Amino acid sequence: MKILDLKESNLTADELIALMTLVGNELPEPLSMRVDIPAYLEKITNNGECYILIDSKQGPAGFIGFYTNDKKNRKAYLSIISILPHFQGKGYGKKLMELMISKCVEMGMIDISLEVQSTNIKAINCYKKFGFNNVAIKADKIVMCKNI
Ligand SMILES: CC(C)(COP(=O)(O)OP(=O)(O)OC[C@H]1O[C@@H](n2cnc3c(N)ncnc32)[C@H](O)[C@@H]1OP(=O)(O)O)[C@@H](O)C(=O)NCCC(=O)NCCS
């Protein structure tokens, strides 16, 4: 398994959209139901960092995307983390979280926040494991934050 910076991948625009749709479908609210995928991809690649988890035999296995453009307040934001079902529960989510945290530290960010559905126990457990704390409730979502 390797982790590739999206900027260094040679995926075509169509392949990227297909990948985002695939990983986005694993979210409790599928990404394609909430956003226009090409516009979202443009926004997150221009304002943040994206990494793809790639299995040498089966291809893309997961994705993480986080914003790092708030240079004034130095606040990062985890926008998407998704591991395809076959690869879940094998430590890959933790690998992507570790990568995000180390990149955010390198970039001088002071905290990372995120929103998660309050019923998404796997994700909440994963975030708690990395020291994210609940900071607010927004309807059916919890806002979590970690100082780094
Ligand atoms: C949430 C998600 C990213 C975790 O990634 P993963 O590769 O499955 O998780 P890992 O194997 O790295 O485990 C990380 C931690 O998640 C939690 N976790 C993982 N599987 C779990 C399960 N079946 N039940 C409860 N907690 C679980 C645990 O805290 C685990 O740490 P531990 O193994 O040391 O106890 C992944 O399951 C996923 O993509 N889910 C669907 C998309 C999604 O909901 N994304 C988050 C949107 S906010």
Its domain, for residue 59, covers 2-147
Ligand 1 pocket, residue 122 CB under 6 Å: yes
Ligand 1 pocket, residue 71 CB under 6 Å: no
Ligand 1 pocket, residue 120 CB under 6 Å: yes
Ligand 1 pocket, residue 125 CB under 6 Å: yes
Distance from the alpha carbon of residue 74 to the mean position of ligand 1, in angstroms:
27
The model's pTM: 0.97
What total number of domains does the chain contain? Answer: 1
Kindly report the CATH number assigned to the domain that includes residue 129. Answer: 3.40.630.30
Distance from the alpha carbon of residue 98 to the mean position of ligand 1, in angstroms:
13
Q: pLDDT tens digits for 27-86? A: 999 999 999 999 999 999 999 999 999 999 999 999 999 999 999 999 999 999 999 999
Residues 95 and 130: beta-carbon distance below 8 Å: no
Q: Inter-axis angle of helices 121-129 and 92-106, to 10 degrees?
A: 50
